Amino acid sequence: MVIHMHSDLSTNFLSGSVPSSLENLSSLKYLRLSTNFLSGSIPPSLGNLSSLQYLNLMFNMLSGQIPEELGNLSSLRYMALGFNELTGQLPPELGRLRSLHVLGLTSNNLSGELPENYANFVGLQQFSVAGNRLTGQIPRFIAKWTELYYLSLSGNDFEGELPLELLFNMSYLEYLFVSDVRSSAGFPFPKNANMTGIRYLKQGVIWNGICGRITERQRWLSKGERAGSRFSRGVVLSVDLEGLVRVCGGWSVKAGDGAVGSAVRDRERKMRKCTRRLCGCGGELEG
């Protein structure tokens, strides 16, 4: 009797649909079909793979909604569905996946708000929904993901409060990508942020209308304190121009235009061309 526990068919130029007959592989723990030409919808029958721990369908042409049946995969630790053409809202049923460590949904056409019961992802370490059409506020329950070290929310239609005070005090968070959050009031840079774990802040964090002076010296900050915020381990702020101040309509130069002013204007032109469907970790500029 053959027991199928591991299946890696990635990068094989496979086409057609994901076969629903995969549900017959009842002992399957690892399924990787990424980087192919698979189309059609994700079969709900995958939710019957009760032993599955790893599911990777990235970089295909899959469409339709994420099946709510995937919420039955109680052993699942890794789910990557990014870089497809998935639509519809995020199924609340995924909130039942309490063993999940990685959830990657980057660059699809997903809409709606993040379901409240996603607060149950207490063991989540990586979460990316960059490059979709999600709406509503960025939920404060993200702070309950105490083991999270990678968070990418860029390129959606979030609005309202940006809970920076909570995000910047998450103990294990190292990589933070946020952009395109609409608010008429802007967002003050947190005065009390224990950023001992942060290694990389994507430029989109600044582009949201966060107010305050950012200097060249802040590009690399090692142990020490500045303005009530603690940084360590060589933080990289993805801003490389000295003396910039964010004002309501765009960037302005604190003193002296010259080459710096020209660079700012060039940066702003590129910002306007920023793609809605972001690549990779959410936030690269086009051209």
10 Å CB burial of residue 176 (0-12, 13-18, 19+) is buried
Closest C-alpha among 220, 215, 217 to residue 235: 220
Residue 239 lies in a domain: yes
Q: Per-residue pLDDT tens for 199-236?
A: 776 644 444 544 444 333 333 333 333 333 433 333 44
Q: Give a yes or no: residue 283 inside a domain.
A: no
In tens, the pLDDT along 30-63 reads: 999 999 999 999 999 999 999 999 999 999 999 9
- Expressed as residue numbers, the domain containing 130 is 6-272
Q: What is the pLDDT of residue 248?
A: 25
The predicted pLDDT at position 195 comes to: 64
pLDDT at 263: 42
Query: Would 255 be classed as within a structural domain?
Result: yes
Is 1 part of any domain? no
Specify the pLDDT at position 187: 63
Residue 115: inside a domain: yes
| Structural domain total, the chain | 1
Q: 133 is written with which tokens?
A: 């059409």
Q: Is residue 14 part of a domain?
A: yes
pLDDT averaged over consecutive 10-residue blocks of the chain (287 residues)? 72 95 93 96 97 97 98 97 97 97 97 96 95 94 93 91 81 86 68 69 51 38 36 38 29 36 42 36 32
Residue 198: inside a domain, yes or no?
yes
Whether residue 223 lies inside any domain: the answer is yes
CATH of the domain at 220: 3.80.10.10
